[in-house]
């Protein structure tokens, strides 16, 4: 499994605390770095009886070796705190030092600390990639009010180490969000093997384009046929409901691509989009 991340201005250690863009969801084993299935979500779970599917996750590595994994879906947030990343299984709850929280759409925070319980299991480590895959389950409590059950949880390619990276100042990504210019400080590209993810990021706002790695020059619907566009603001992620993309050039040998795009997220218009990247 090979990934190349392009960052125009930041060091790798800073990238790791940025949005980790992930679209390969797989069944994995402890000894393999190969994904056998590729989907559009990086974290999925069932919260009570409702699906939770997230397109990205953040991984924040702390000085004491612990890690905080956070992701959101439809204004709901799951956070998992692990005291280390060296064990294969972590019990959540009590005084274990490992815990999970669920924040609902009203801002109520349910936690496994105290009377909650659950587990996180690392199912795969990819040392060259600096990532882990895993599964999780937990029951979290809002004291004196309610409990929530999070089951069938899976996460893919959460960064815990330094992935291979390369700085390329040629990367370009620009757009207009409604009437405001969007000139990202950071441009990332990720090759998942089947798809190319192109992200422009400035502050807490990201625009993300997903397209098949085999795409050729031409015009395409940006929300069908393996294409997708996403807008991330803080912990809120929204997919485009319409849009188009034009690939003006793609050299698979040199791993370069240029194009233009526009899409709509809710009532927000993303227009005059242009990119010129090396992946």
Tens digits of pLDDT across the chain (279 residues): 433 334 433 333 333 334 343 333 222 222 233 332 333 457 999 999 999 988 777 788 888 889 999 888 888 999 999 998 888 999 998 888 899 999 998 889 999 998 999 999 999 887 777 788 999 999 999 998 999 999 999 998 887 865 444 444 568 999 999 999 999 888 888 887 788 989 898 888 889 999 999 999 999 999 999 899 999 887 688 889 999 999 999 999 999 999 999 999 999 999 999 999 998
Strand 165-166 and strand 5-6: pairing? parallel
As a three-state string, the secondary structure of 94-133 is CCCCCEEEEECCCCCEEECCCCCEEEEEEEEEECCCCEEE
Cβ atoms within 10 Å, residue 224:
10
Q: How high is the pLDDT of residue 170? A: 67
Domain ranges of the chain: 17-159, 165-278
Residue 208's nearest CA partner among 175, 184, 230 is 230
Q: How high is the pLDDT of residue 10? A: 39
pLDDT digits (tens, 9 = 90+) for 70-86: 888 888 999 999 998 88
Q: How high is the pLDDT of residue 79? A: 95
Q: How high is the pLDDT of residue 78? A: 95
Task: Give this prediction's pTM.
Answer: 0.53
CA dist., res. 74 & res. 187, Å (int) = 25
Q: How high is the pLDDT of residue 161? A: 64
CA dist., res. 184 & res. 187, Å (int) = 7
């Amino acid at each position: 499994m090979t990934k190349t991340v392009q960052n125009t201005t930041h060091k790798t250690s800073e990238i790791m605390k940025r949005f980790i863009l992930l679209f390969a969801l797989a069944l994995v084993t402890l000894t393999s770095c190969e994904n056998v299935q590729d989907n559009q979500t990086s974290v999925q779970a069932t919260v009570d009886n409702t699906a939770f599917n997230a397109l990205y996750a953040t991984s924040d590595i702390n000085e004491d070796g612990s890690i905080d994994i956070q992701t959101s879906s439809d204004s709901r947030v799951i956070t998992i705190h692990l005291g280390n990343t060296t064990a294969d299984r972590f019990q959540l709850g009590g005084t274990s030092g490992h815990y999970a929280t669920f924040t609902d759409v009203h801002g109520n925070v349910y936690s496994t600390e105290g009377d909650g319980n659950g587990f996180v299991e690392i199912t795969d480590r990819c040392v060259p990639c600096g990532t882990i895959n895993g599964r999780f389950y937990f029951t979290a409590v809002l004291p004196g009010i309610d409990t929530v059950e999070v089951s069938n949880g899976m996460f893919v390619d959460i960064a815990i180490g330094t992935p291979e990276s390369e700085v390329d100042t040629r990367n370009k990504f620009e757009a207009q969000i409604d009437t405001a210019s969007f000139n990202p400080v950071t441009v990332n590209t990720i090759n998942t093997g089947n798809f190319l993810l192109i992200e422009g990021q400035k502050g807490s706002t990201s625009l993300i384009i997903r397209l098949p790695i085999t795409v050729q020059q031409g015009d395409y619907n940006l929300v069908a046929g393996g294409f997708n566009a996403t807008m991330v603001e803080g912990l809120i992620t929204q997919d485009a409901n319409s849009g188009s993309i034009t690939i003006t050039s793609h050299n698979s040998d040199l791993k370069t691509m240029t194009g233009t795009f526009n899409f709509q997220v809710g009532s927000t218009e993303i227009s005059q989009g242009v990119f010129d990247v090396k992946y």
